[in-house]
Chains A and B, each alone.
Chain A
Amino acid sequence: MTAECTFKSKDLLGIKELSKDEIALILDTASGFRDVLRRDIKKVPALRGKTAVNLFFEPSTRTRTSFELAEKRLSLDVLNLSVTTSSVVKGETLMDTALNVQALGADFMVIRHPSSGVPHLLSGNIKASVINAGDGTNEHPTQALLDAFTIMEKKGRIEGLRVAIVGDILHSRVAKSNIYLLTKFGAEVRLIGPPTLVPKRLEQLGVKTFYDMETGLKDADVIMMLRIQMERQDRGFFPSTLEYSRYWGLNMERLSLADKEAIVMHPGPMNRGLEIASDVADGPRSVILEQVTNGIAVRMAVMYLLGGVRG
């Protein structure tokens, strides 16, 4: 019943680093923002006068626009820096880029980077709140938070749910963050995909691994499909997209193995017809577009809460 809440860290580096209580607080706070997003005037003055810099070293439309909208609706001033327009191409080091952004007066640094651990590196060297918007194959914490928010909205709980995550677990930061979050909250997590992309040793994290959809999807309450990246085929993780799709694509027939009320999620962008069939993606069980809307509320909640850590 405390009127104020403090986060341990000024940064959001990953789900690994968060306690269950902190995650619950973010999700609770997000539902307040979800209400704000339903109003005609969707903007609140909560972080007026503060500045957010979106530092994207990897192409991203979805996550960047979601963060940008979240920031604008919190009345933050927003600056977008992407790798193609920044001086990184001129050989500037990451630290120099970050220090320059800090000198511009950033209070929040939202960072996406192809190398795992970059938010952690900045965190220790930068005063601004660092928010991980996806680092290498490590984590994508706000995606897992918005997924959890969506599951809570649809199922009312996470504990005890059977959640199947399908695809390239090994290289998926979305999957990693979701595994940490869902296991913290007591869900039964099943990972499904080819053995080259679903390492058995992940079972040490308290999840189950499956190589076939038929057993893995049985009675699942939530199915999370991951985007399959073409470059994995080039590196020999599976022989062809056709073969991948045949064994691990989600179609109506496979969906029918899951619980009748199962929901289907995808972090986007989707490869229709590859990992997910169109009739599933557009079907009544799909909550894919709701995930997008919830993403804004969750990101607002994260920034609002981190905004209170400094000062």
Chain B
Amino acid sequence: MTILIRKGHIIDPSQGIDGIGEILIEDGKIIEIILEAKRGKGQRAKGKERDSELRTVDASGLYVLPGLVDMHTHLREPGYEYKETIKSGTGAAVRGGFTTVCAMPNTNPVNDNSSVTEFIIRKAVQEGSCAVYPIGAITKLQKGEELAEIGIMCDEGCVAFSDDGRPVMNSELMKKALEYSKIFNVPIISHCEDRDLSEGGVMNSGLLSITLGLRGIPPEAEEVMVARDIALAGLTRGRLHIAHVSTEGSVRLIRLAKEAGIAVTAETCPHYFSITEAAVKGYNTNAKVNPPLRTEKDVEAIKDGLKDGIIDAIATDHAPHHRDDKLQEFDKAPFGISGIETALSLSLKLVHNGILSLSRLVEKMTLNPSTILRIDKGTLKVGADADIVIIDMKRQFRVEPDKFVSKGKNTPFEGRVLKGMPVLTICKGRVFDIA
């Protein structure tokens, strides 16, 4: 099957492309890109006059981007299939414009050994809509006590290691993880949270947590660990990636670390630059997430961090939960937002508001995560997998969780009207019409 995408505005930061052109896809690979500005008169992509199996996509007025790469996804399988499966989670990813997702290891059993890794990869090939790269646990059972078999899991296909959902509280062990993982050239993704400072916390700590009577998680719970991990990365020269940055202080610390030349990268998630702790009011468990939603000044600092390149990537931290899980006491309800179907639209607001150019945004959602993980994704280079998303920057829609492909309907953005959305996603040549 041959696909020709015509007349779209192509943006590919990996090649510095930003202009109208055509992309030709054959057998799931990109075989040609012709930019209008460069091509000679009358020159068309080769496939144009080829076989009848040609599908032509008219992308005029639309943007054509590399398929998005989410380096932080909870697919819940194995173990929590009632919350999400590899099938439903990758389906949701595609609907959100993502063609690559990285599955966090906090499944049941935990992805702390090669058989779970192998299971996820096999299941993704059989049932998944897009590419799935597993992330292995740093420590066995994510207990923070002994290192998991990082090397074997790397061989099996894990692209990074994280005890996401839990911090590695033991600094000595974290140091060893950063040191040991160097030989496999994989990043250690740190969920930064000092468990003593955050103990029992369910939202950001501040006046609002006091007046709601909810136990707070202070920003310092994150920042103390960001500082520790940066120090350890400096010491070990290991590759540290800070997950879901949520506070002004963390941005400041990462800025200092980068200035000092320490190998640290960082991601944030759309909810940390879109809404504040105010979303929790009324005890909305769909706004319960870890790290918690913070304040206006943190939101501004995150945006600055993205603008200045201190924060390298935007990930979703897609954390689907069943309705019954969230329909509980606020204290009891699990943390997490089902975010993969709203991530792109929420991020496009940064472009609409002039904080990032579209090209910079795309970089943070494609090229940068791929570079951090060293995977051949997030690019439209000839020969690469045909992972593409076509987006309509102007189209508006209302967030309706009931229409999510994800099993998790837990979003604090319900009812919001967002501008800009994917209309077509292509994963290795497979076309998914979205809208």
Q: Give A residues with C-beta under 8 Å from B.
A: 16, 93-95, 113, 115-118, 120-121, 125, 135-139, 170, 173, 176, 199, 201-202, 204-205
Contacts and interface: CB of A to CB of B under 8 A. Distances in A.
A117 B332 CA distance: 11
Interface string B211-251: 11110000000000000000000000000000000000000
Given A137-B213, A202-B210, A116 B328 contact: no
19 contacts: A94-B328, A94-B329, A95-B327, A95-B328, A115-B330, A115-B331, A116-B283, A116-B330, A117-B212, A117-B213, A117-B283, A118-B329, A121-B328, A121-B329, A137-B213, A138-B213, A138-B214, A176-B211, A201-B210
Q: Is the interface of B mostly helix, strand, loop or mixed?
A: loop
A199 B210 contact: yes
A116 B324 contact: no
B207 interface: yes
Closest 5 CB pairs of A and B: A138-B213, A117-B283, A116-B213, A115-B329, A137-B213
Interface residues of B, number: 16
Contact of B214 (A94, A116, A125, A201): A116
A176 B207 contact: no
A51 B329 CA distance: 25
B329 A117 contact: yes
Given A120-B282, A136-B213, A137-B213, A204 B329 contact: no
B207 A135 contact: no
Nearest to A95: B327
A94 B282 CA distance: 17
Contacts of B165: none
A95 B325 CA distance: 11
B206 interface: yes
Given A115-B332, A135-B213, 10 more contacts: A16-B211, A93-B324, A95-B328, A113-B329, A121-B283, A136-B213, A139-B213, A170-B210, A202-B210, A205-B207
A93 B328 CA distance: 8
Interface in B326-357: 327-332
Contacts of B324: 93, 95
Contacts of B214: 116-117, 136-138
Contacts of A173: 213
Contacts of A125: 327
B201 to A, nearest CB: 13
B210 A116 contact: no
A45 B396 CA distance: 57
Nearest to A116: B213
Given A116-B213, A136-B213, A139-B213, A201 B207 contact: yes
Contacts, number: 58
Contacts of B331: 115-116, 136
Contact of A116 (B206, B207, B212, B327): B212
B211 A205 contact: yes
Q: Which residue, B213, B324, B327, B330, has most C-beta atoms of chain A within 10 A?
A: B213
Interface of B: 206-207, 210-214, 282-283, 324, 327-332
B327 to A, nearest CB: 6
A113 B328 CA distance: 12
Contacts of A93: 324, 327-328
Contacts of B329: 94, 113, 115, 117-118, 121
Contacts of B328: 93-95, 121
A178 to B, nearest CB: 13
B230 to A, nearest CB: 29
Nearest to B327: A95
A57 to B, nearest CB: 9
Contacts of A139: 213
Q: Which residue, B214, B328, B330, has most C-beta atoms of chain A within 10 A?
A: B330
A75 B109 CA distance: 56
Contacts of B211: 16, 176, 205
A117 B283 CA distance: 6
Contacts of B283: 116-117, 120-121
A115 B211 CA distance: 14
B207 A202 contact: yes
Contacts of A137: 213-214
A16 B211 CA distance: 9
Nearest to A180: B211
Contacts of B206: 201
A212 to B, nearest CB: 22
A257 to B, nearest CB: 28
Contacts of B327: 93, 95, 121, 125
A173 B211 CA distance: 9
Contacts of B210: 170, 199, 201-202
Contacts of A202: 207, 210
A284 B101 CA distance: 71
Contacts of A136: 213-214, 331
A178 B329 CA distance: 24
Contacts of A117: 212-214, 283, 329-330
A107 to B, nearest CB: 23
A201 B210 CA distance: 9
